[in-house]
Amino acid sequence: MPMATLAAPCSSRHSLLHHHHCRLISPPASARLVRRGRCVRSYASSTREREAAVARMPRLAHRDVMLALAREAETRLGARLLPSEVPANVREFSEDEGRALGSVDVRRGAPGSSIDFFLEAWFHRTLPSGGAIDITALIVFLNGATDAPHFVMDLIQAGPSSLIILLDLLPRRDLPLHPGYIDAYYAATGADAHRRDVVERVPQARPYVSPSLLVRSLWSPTAVVVDVQCGEGGVARLEEIVRGQLASSAEAVLDVWLERCAGSVVEMKAEERERLVARDKMIIATDVEVNLTANLPKMFSADVSDRVVAEISKVFVGP
Amino acid sequence: MPMATLAAPCSSRHSLLHHHHCRLISPPASARLVRRGRCVRSYASSTREREAAVARMPRLAHRDVMLALAREAETRLGARLLPSEVPANVREFSEDEGRALGSVDVRRGAPGSSIDFFLEAWFHRTLPSGGAIDITALIVFLNGATDAPHFVMDLIQAGPSSLIILLDLLPRRDLPLHPGYIDAYYAATGADAHRRDVVERVPQARPYVSPSLLVRSLWSPTAVVVDVQCGEGGVARLEEIVRGQLASSAEAVLDVWLERCAGSVVEMKAEERERLVARDKMIIATDVEVNLTANLPKMFSADVSDRVVAEISKVFVGP
């Protein structure tokens, strides 16, 4: 099926109707309905759709790592995540005869949970030179029920042998003022060991210094913020690093987050909670703006990038 | 003159008397009085004493750089700094037949200025192996009249060919929440160019990762936080880096600070100012604790290190 057909304009007029239908009908019919409009799908059908979409994408080790982590997190978060409400033409889009492909999916946290949203996204653009750029993100933000860190993994691959890795439990407090926060979420969780593993076991990893001073200010003291450069002919070596050290370290960080952060509830005064949530909105705007939305217009037509950016921007506004 | 005589116990009983005498009498007599107790000295006599003390220290390139910067800053800050009130046996102390030497001096900011305090310190300890450890700091903190960054330079040399450099305009705001602060003090001042100069022009410079997660959280996005390792026989190379790139980059950062931060006055609500000053106290406690006071007991006897730590601790309490 040509991917371009998935990028047709989408109406949300039938969403309520589809909501119930999608849970009952078989996946292929569901998939057709979904493509005609916004729809909240069952876990099974959305999983099958996603698997089909992934099968249509060019294989990429770092995307496989993200997808495995995303499925692990979804399984363990279970009913704490609401079904996706992202329209089909944002969940999967393609242009330029498949040379530009992408997918963005967002699941809101269920009422009563500590989850704000769960965002997974990947973008692929084949370059005229024959190379490609691939950007992948898995971001799970918590809400004002807790001050526990968010989970963030951004992977930016501008060539077959180089990869920028940003992997962190993103802090939600002004750290110098909150040493107890550092102790609870970073020192006591062993988070630094996972950073050290990447830095020490991957000799090709160099510190990555973002051109944005604001982005440099977001990270925790245990963040993995590296640029892995394997050089000419390093394609196999990079794939080995991605499927080996990156996969295991990212899984370890996600495990810390799922065990110690995702279910956390912290008592706060209303004013403190408001400040925390306002800070979160600044942070997600910065992370998503710099790592995702700033890159989309370079990879896709204005139509597609506007539509995708608009959908991502809903994350900032909240449910 | 044996340095050990300078480490005699000190009484502050005569400080007021000495305050006036010291401004009138000749330096040698002043120096004798100073050694007997706490004393506020004239700029000329304290400068001469300092020069004499420096002449007695083993030569060290990184200390020379700090001293040159300190004199430059003192000259340009002029009457915004009050005379030192640090007792002579903290301004200069020595033990173990000169194998352990040190100096701590603090000048408070004048009333009406934006300066909180100006601290310079250096410590030297010859090791049984024949090597030495040298720790040097120049720290100028601002008060609640402004939210502009502090100036911090810590230099830690554990061998003749390796040096840890911490050089920063230390931020006083929770940066992700204050992009305008990043723009004003870091982007618009060209601060990042000075960081890049060190990182790019000194191939021996590797990122320094403090064992303290709290210390890692203090720095600005343009901080120089590096470990320069010149390896076996790299003594001359390190000295060249220190007198060349370190001296010029540190001077450039100090110049930004003197021009854009030291004289700044910013309107704030009382509550905001209180939070800022409370944050400052946390930060100075962390920086001084980790980089200075934690190391003193390893270098000096309990008597000396207790006395010096007590004097440094006054900085946290304020005037």
Q: Is A99 helix (H, G, I), strand (E, B) or coil?
A: coil
Contact present, A230 and A176 (Cβ < 8 Å): no
Q: Is the ipTM of this complex over 0.90?
A: no
CA distance A241 to chain B (A): 22
pLDDT at B41 over 60: no
CB contact (8 A) between residue B174 and residue A179:
no
For testing the chain B interface, which of A150, A186, A197, A217 should be mutated: the one with the most B CBs within 10 Å? A217
pLDDT at B36 over 50: no
Domains and CATH numbers, chain B: 3-8+21-317 (3.40.1500.20)
Q: How far is CA B166 from CA B55, B189, B217, in A?
A: 26, 19, 13
pLDDT at A131 over 70: yes
**Close Cβ partners of B53 (under 8 Å, ≥ 6 residues apart):** B91, B92, B103
Q: What are phi and psi of A99, to 5 degrees?
A: -80, -15
pLDDT at A13 over 50: no
In this predicted model, what pLDDT tens digit does every residue of B42-65 receive, in sequence order? Answer: 555 667 777 777 777 778 999 999
Q: Give the model's pLDDT for residue A93.
A: 94
The pair of three-digit structure tokens given for residue A214, joined into one six-digit string: 């604001």
Contact present, A199 and A148 (Cβ < 8 Å): no
Q: Are strands A132-142 and A115-126 parallel, antiparallel or unpaired?
A: antiparallel
CB contact (8 A) between residue A192 and residue B177:
no
Q: Give the model's pLDDT for residue B220.
A: 98
In this predicted model, what pLDDT tens digit does every residue of B162-178 receive, in sequence order? Answer: 999 999 999 999 999 99
Question: How far from each other are the two terminal CA atoms of chain B, in whole angstroms?
Answer: 34
Contact present, B297 and B305 (Cβ < 8 Å): yes
Largest CA distance in chain B: 56
Distance of CA A42 to the CA centre of its chain: 20
Q: Give the model's pLDDT for residue A318.
A: 59
Q: What are phi and psi of A4, to 5 degrees?
A: -60, -30
- By the 10 Å C-beta count (0-12 exposed, 13-18 middle, 19+ buried), A133 is classed as middle
Distance CA B143, CA B113 (A): 8
In chain A, residues with a C-beta closer than 8 Å to the C-beta of B284 are none
In this predicted model, what pLDDT tens digit does every residue of A202-251 receive, in sequence order? Answer: 999 999 999 999 999 999 999 999 999 999 889 999 999 999 999 999 99
pLDDT at B11 over 80: no
Q: Give the model's pLDDT for residue B49.
A: 73
Q: Is A105 helix (H, G, I), strand (E, B) or coil?
A: strand
Q: What are phi and psi of B116, to 5 degrees?
A: -90, -60
CA distance B214 to chain A (A): 6
Q: Give the model's pLDDT for residue B34.
A: 35
pLDDT at B125 over 50: yes
Q: Give the model's pLDDT for residue A151.
A: 98
Pick from B182, B214, B216: CB nearest A217: B182
Average pLDDT for chain B? 84
Q: CA dihedral defined by B22, B25, B29, B35, rounded to 10 degrees?
A: 0
- Tokens 């005379």 -> residue: B83
- By the 10 Å C-beta count (0-12 exposed, 13-18 middle, 19+ buried), B264 is classed as middle
